[in-house]
Amino acid sequence: MKTLRGLKLSRLRPWQVPQLTPIEQQFVDRHDVRTDLAFEAHQVASQAGQHALPGVTTQVEDLGFAQVTRIHIETDLGAAAMGKAKGRYVTIQAPGLKRRDRTLEQQVSEVLASEIEQYLKRWQIGPDQPVLVVGLGNWNATPDNVGPLTVSKLLVTRHLYEYQALNEEILGKMRPLAALSPGVLGLTGVETAEIVQGVVERVRPALVICVDALASMSVERIGTTIQVADAGISPGSGVGNTRRGLNRETLGVPVLAMGVPTVIYATTIVSEAVDQLLTSIAAPIYPLDAESRRNLIREVLGESMGTLVVTPKEVDVMVESISDILADGLNEALHPGISAQEAAAIR
């Protein structure tokens, strides 16, 4: 691993590189950027001249300490323009999280809990119905440890119901909650979707919540942005790729995906640098069309740059902090009848 001006560079192995769905790959080919955030994809598509995206509605709410952007992709045309599956995407941006302010972290957790509750109401999932939370990622790789670390901080209660370990008054304040960190293919040799599907068949939850690390196209959004979406997580379904996604079609229950960007692909950084160079120097003298620009970027990157990712040097502290926020938001949304003090006593 190399360090470059406060950032860490690491190379993903073939089985670690997230596979793209066809519409995601088309978006990357068209704009030369890779992002998991619907908010950023909307920005890119709008700046490319698609100001009125078909079948896409947006709503922005400024809370002072954070900005909440809600994007609803309703049609296939909108999905193609955004490079994202149809669904509702909520993005919570709080730049102040970089300061590690505990008061701000609690405020963001409350906003996150409120947004999760809206999804529960939309799916009509009652307070007594079981939920499974899956922490996706590799716990041996710090930037990819958001999911497993968040799961370790949840108030899991399914076993308490099964063995009647608490009195009925306390149990009545909590829902049956199970949690799982299945690891990754490189650690287990088993596809994550296969593990989760097997657990879902036995546990039979009313909802599956997946927590994962994401990729952004902006350093400023790393560790300061949370995305929640009901479109599930699709590792890829391209030609020759048989890896299955985690969504309602594969699991048979609603899937809520939560994530925080912890890395940026080096390809995105190079693409932005080339854009700035062309704008300031080359473009007025040697105008380039879109295809020539793409060829230039590919020539600069070469074959080896595609699997490089960048993450902040303080990623360990960042992941610890952001997992606290995610876990607090989940605990508050899934166990609304129990206080933080009661939850701490049970754990």
Number of domains making up the chain: 1
Q: Residue 106 and residue 83: Cα distance in Å, rounded? A: 32
Q: Comparing C-alpha atoms, which of 208, 211, 221 is closest to residue 144? A: 211
Q: Is residue 9 part of a domain?
A: no
Q: Is residue 179 part of a domain?
A: yes
DSSP summary character for residue 233: B
Q: Residue 44's domain is classified under what CATH number?
A: 3.40.50.1450
Q: Residue 342 and residue 344: Cα distance in Å, rounded? A: 5
Structure tokens given for 108: 């963001």
Three-state DSSP string of the chain: CEEECCEEEEECCHHHCCCCCHHHHHHHHHHCCCCCCHHHHHHHHHHCCCCCCCCEEEEEEECCCCEEEEEEECCHHHHHHHCCCCEEEEEEECHHHHHCCHHHHHHHHHHHHHHHHHHHHHHCCCCCCCEEEEECCCCCCHHHCHHHHHHCCCCCCHHHHHHCCCCHHHHCCCCCEEEECCCCHHHHCCCHHHHHHHHHHHHCCCEEEEEEEEEECCHHHCCCEEEEECCCECCCCCCCCCCCCECHHHHCCCEEEEEEEEEEEHHHHHHHHHHHHHHHHHHHHCCCCHHHHHHHHHHHHCCCHHHEEEEECCHHHHHHHHHHHHHHHHHHHHCCCCCHHHHHHHC
Q: Is residue 2 part of a domain?
A: no
Q: Is residue 6 part of a domain?
A: no
Residue indicated by tokens 């007594």: 128
Q: Would the pLDDT of 208 be above 50?
A: yes
- Answer whether 10's CB lies under 8 Å from 1's CB: yes
- Answer whether 97's CB lies under 8 Å from 108's CB: yes
More confident residue, 279 or 104: 104
Q: Is residue 302 part of a domain?
A: yes
What is the pLDDT at residue 294? 66
Q: Is residue 72 part of a domain?
A: yes
Q: Is residue 225 part of a domain?
A: yes
Pick from 15-29, 49-63, 232-246 the range whose average pLDDT is largest. Answer: 49-63
Q: What percentage of the chain exceeds 90 in pLDDT?
A: 46
pLDDT tens track for 106-148? 999 999 999 999 999 999 999 999 999 999 988 888 889 999 9
What pTM was estimated for this model as a whole?
A: 0.84
Beta-carbon contacts of 62 under 8 Å, excluding residues fewer than 6 positions away, are none
Q: Residue 294 and residue 277: Cα distance in Å, rounded? A: 14
More confident residue, 251 or 24: 251
Q: What is the identity of the amino acid at 224?
A: T
Residue indicated by tokens 């497993």: 148
What is the pLDDT at residue 180? 94
Domain boundaries, position 137: 16-346
Number of CB atoms found within 10 A of residue 307's CB: 16
Number of CB atoms found within 10 A of residue 330's CB: 27
Instruction: Give mean pLDDT, residues 151-173.
Output: 78
Is the backbone of residue 224 left (phi > 0), alpha (psi -120 to 50) or beta? alpha
Number of CB atoms found within 10 A of residue 82's CB: 24
Q: Is residue 5 part of a domain?
A: no
Beta strand residue intervals within the chain, DSSP E: 2-4, 7-11, 56-62, 67-73, 87-93, 131-135, 177-180, 207-216, 225-229, 255-265, 308-312
Q: Would the pLDDT of 87 be above 90?
A: yes
How large is the greatest C-alpha to C-alpha distance in the chain, in angstroms? 77
First to last CA, the chain: 37
Instruction: Give mean pLDDT, residues 12-40.
Output: 69
Instruction: Give mean pLDDT, residues 297-303.
Output: 66
